Structures are given as structure tokens and as C-alpha cells.
Amino acid sequence: MTPPSRAKEKKRNIKPRDLRTTLFNIPKIDLHRHLEGSLRLSTLADIAHQHGVDLPSLSLEELRPYVQVVDDTPDFQGFLAKFTLLRRFYSSREAVERIAYEAVADAAADNVHYLELRISPVALALNQGFNFEDVVDWVILAVNRAQEYYNIQVRLIVLTNRHEPQYANQLAEIAVDRKDQGIVALDLAGDEVNFPALDNFIEPFQWAKKQGLHITVHAAEVGPPINAKAAVEQLGAERIGHGIRVREDIAVMDFINRQQIPLEICPTSNLQTGALPRLSQHPLFPFYKIGIPVTINTDDPSISNTTLTDEFLMATGGAGVPFRALCQMILYAAKAAFLPEPEKARLVDWFTKVLSKYTSGGLSG
């Protein structure tokens, strides 16, 4: 018997061996990608050599397990620990700009046409004693150069971590001050298991939203479903990062559906953090079938050794998402983009027209 996913591929005349090529060629959107999780391993080695970064090893292959998930047992804390070593690499302005430029270049090389890149000023600045404002400006400059050269549209999201509430007000002010320079939103990320409370973030997030920034929050990734509802109600979240555990609470899932809160799903990351035991149990397609606007993203492409094309392959293969639904999820991402309405309308219109070439009968714009 032909597996369901392959049956659908044959029905669309897409041979399995050609599926990767097709998914690569489709223009895509990544709404959930961390700059600090997008460093090329070759660049890490270069920076280590040039700036004398103290590392367990200078061998690329020996360094890999420290900064990339290789054969790790799925574990949320283990996944987050990769960022601890990565903080050592933002050793100069040149290093920060190179990392930001290459992150955009790598997205463009995977046929990503619209990217929202999250940056953690604390991660980029603290170890080296840089000013938060400076590192944000360096990233903005590098991203602007890259998006012009590679013909990709990029917007930035300033991220604050749950375990570092002392920086939340300052980061909100930095983001608001640069909202005309490509920064479109504020994000809360980090360890929602040991730091579930939102009290310290309510004031800066609500203030930032009143100043015109959008809000997205990592929630219900490995923490309880109610975290997603709290992020919407207390912080004003318009999108939820991950949110896969809302499937465990019908009331929360119904809330997310009724509010039409887009979920930024990252399949590979969800497996590597242990948020899900296996891909076949991923709620991506069940969410889609009940009407939740789900999107597919990379999270941390370098740490997870993935691309957005890989994530789409995982979704249509192991998670059982039909090809047409993948295209609709791209359209959901366009509609969820943190752009002014006229810009968003143009983005949605462009993707609707382009994606209709890959589907019979078009898609709902």
C-alpha cells in the first residue's frame, strides 16, 4: 500500500525524489529564526582563530557537538545550553556584522523571500561589554546590506529572555527607537519551565505595543498550554512562538483558534528540545485542519542543522502535511507578517499569485 504522503505526491504528479527540488524552488517565508542560532560553523572557526576565542576545540568537527545538535538526547535545557558557548563568538563589530549578513544570505539561498530575524542584544553584547544599542545598530546595517544584495525582505525582532527581566525595559526602548529602521516587534523567549511568570514583562511589552511595535512570545513550547493564553492576554501577543502544547488543553486551543493567533511552528526544533517524542505526533496538521493559522519556520538553522526546505520536507513527510496545505501555510505566514497593512497586502498578493502556480485551483488570499 502506498503511504498517504506519497499518494498525494503522485496525485499532484510530484515524484518523491523531486519533492525536495519543488519545495526548495517554492518562495518561502520564515517568521521564526534566531540570529544567534544561525551562525555558520565555518564562520565560528574563523572568528575563533582571528579573535582567540577560548573554545573546547578549534577543530570544526570537534566543535560541532558544542554548538549543534548532533546525537544529543532530546532535551530542552540541553538545546538552550548551545547558546551559552555561542555568546563567546560576538567578539567584535566585524564578527556581529558578518554573522548577521550571512544569516540573511543563507535564508536567501534557501529561497526565503521574507524573513523576520530575531536578535538578542544581551547575547550579542554582554560577554564583550558592548552597548546594547551598538550591537543592534550593527545588525541593522549588516541586514540592510544583505537584503539589498540578495533581494530578500527582512525585518528584525528584538528578543528579551525570561531569565533576564532586568533588561526588558531597556530593550523595549531600543526596539521602539528603531522601529523606522526595520525593527517591527518585541519577543519573549528562553526557559518557560523555570521562569514561567510574565509579571516583569507586562509593562515593557504593553508599552512597546502602544508605541507601534508588534508582539510575539515563545509559549507552550515545553511549558503548559495556559502560557500561550497568558501571553496573548497579558503581553498582547499577536503570534505565538511554537505553541505546540496548546493541543493538550481544548479550552486554550479553542481560544487560539477563535482569536486566530498564528503559531510559529518549528518541527526539527520541537523534536530536538524533546517537546515532542516523534514527528508523527506533531500537531501541525491537526491545528491546520481545525483552522488555526500555522506557519513553518526554522528556529535555529545552525544549531538544528536545518533549512526551511528541510522543515517543509519534515512537515510533508513525517508530519503528514499535504503539499497544498504547505502552500496555504506559506500564505498564512504572509498574512501574519509584522508589516504595515499596505506592505502586507502586497506581500500576500504576491505570494497568492506565485503559490497558485503550484496548486490547482489557486489558494485563498
Predicted pLDDT of residue 1: 35
Confidence band for 182, pLDDT divided at 50, 70 and 90: very high
Strand order in the sheet with 112-119: 28-34, 112-119, 153-161, 183-189, 214-219, 239-242, 263-265, 294-296
* pLDDT of res. 9: 37
223: pLDDT strictly greater than 90: yes
Between 59 and 21, where is the model more confident?
A: 21
Q: What is the pLDDT of residue 54?
A: 66
Cα torsion 288, 293, 296, 297: sign: negative
SS3 318: coil
57 pLDDT band, cuts 50/70/90, is low
- Confidence (pLDDT) at 82: 78
**Alpha-helix runs per DSSP H in the chain:** 4-11, 16-25, 41-51, 60-67, 76-86, 93-109, 121-125, 132-150, 168-177, 199-210, 226-235, 250-259, 267-272, 284-290, 301-304, 308-316, 323-336, 341-356
* CB distance 200 to 162 below 8 Å: no
CB-based contact 305:61 (threshold 8 Å): no
* pLDDT at res. 17: 61
Does the domain at 4-355 match CATH 3.40.50.300? Answer given as: no
**CA triple 127-130-134, angle to 5 deg:** 140
Residues with Cβ within 8 Å of 15's Cβ and at least 6 positions away in sequence, in order, are: 9
Q: Are strands 183-189 and 153-161 parallel, antiparallel or unpaired?
A: parallel
Distance CA 235, CA 197 (A): 11
10 Å Cβ neighbour count for 291?
10
Residues with Cβ < 8 Å from 221, sequence gap 6 or more?
76, 192, 241, 242, 243, 244, 245, 270, 273, 275
**Does residue 4 register a pLDDT over 70?**
no
Q: How far apart are CA 2 and CA 183, in angstroms?
A: 47
Please give the grid coordinates belonging to residue 111: 529561497
Mean pLDDT of 325-341: 98
Cα separation, 331 vs 349, whole angstroms: 9
Q: pLDDT value at position 53? A: 67
| Residues 256, 265: Cα–Cα separation, whole Å | 14
Range of lowest pLDDT (79-88, 150-159, 318-327): 79-88
DSSP 28: E
Mean pLDDT, residues 283-290 taken together: 97
Q: What residue type is assigned to position 191 of the chain?
A: D
Cβ partners under 8 Å of residue 116, min gap 6: 30, 31, 32, 33, 154, 155, 156, 157, 184, 185, 337, 338
pLDDT at 86: 79
Q: Would you please indicate which residues are annotated as catalytic (active-site) residues?
A: 221
pLDDT digits (tens, 9 = 90+) for 31-45: 999 999 998 888 887
The chain-wide mean pLDDT, for the chain, equals 90
For the segment 299-316, what is each residue's pLDDT rounded down to a tens digit? 999 999 999 999 999 999
Residue 10 has pLDDT above 50, yes or no: no
Higher-confidence position of 2 and 18? 18
Q: Is the per-residue pLDDT at 362 higher than 80?
A: no
Residue 2 has pLDDT above 50, yes or no: no
CA distances from 85 to 53, 166, 307, 353 (A): 10, 22, 22, 43
Cell of 40: 555558520
State residue 16's pLDDT score.
56
Contact 231, 245 (CB under 8 A): no
Under 8 Å between Cβ of 355 and 324: no
Q: Is a pLDDT exceeding 50 seen at residue 258?
A: yes
Mean pLDDT check: name the lowest of 45-59, 65-79, 123-137, 178-192. 45-59
Residue 88: pLDDT above 80?
no
Band (pLDDT 50/70/90 cuts) for residue 364 is low
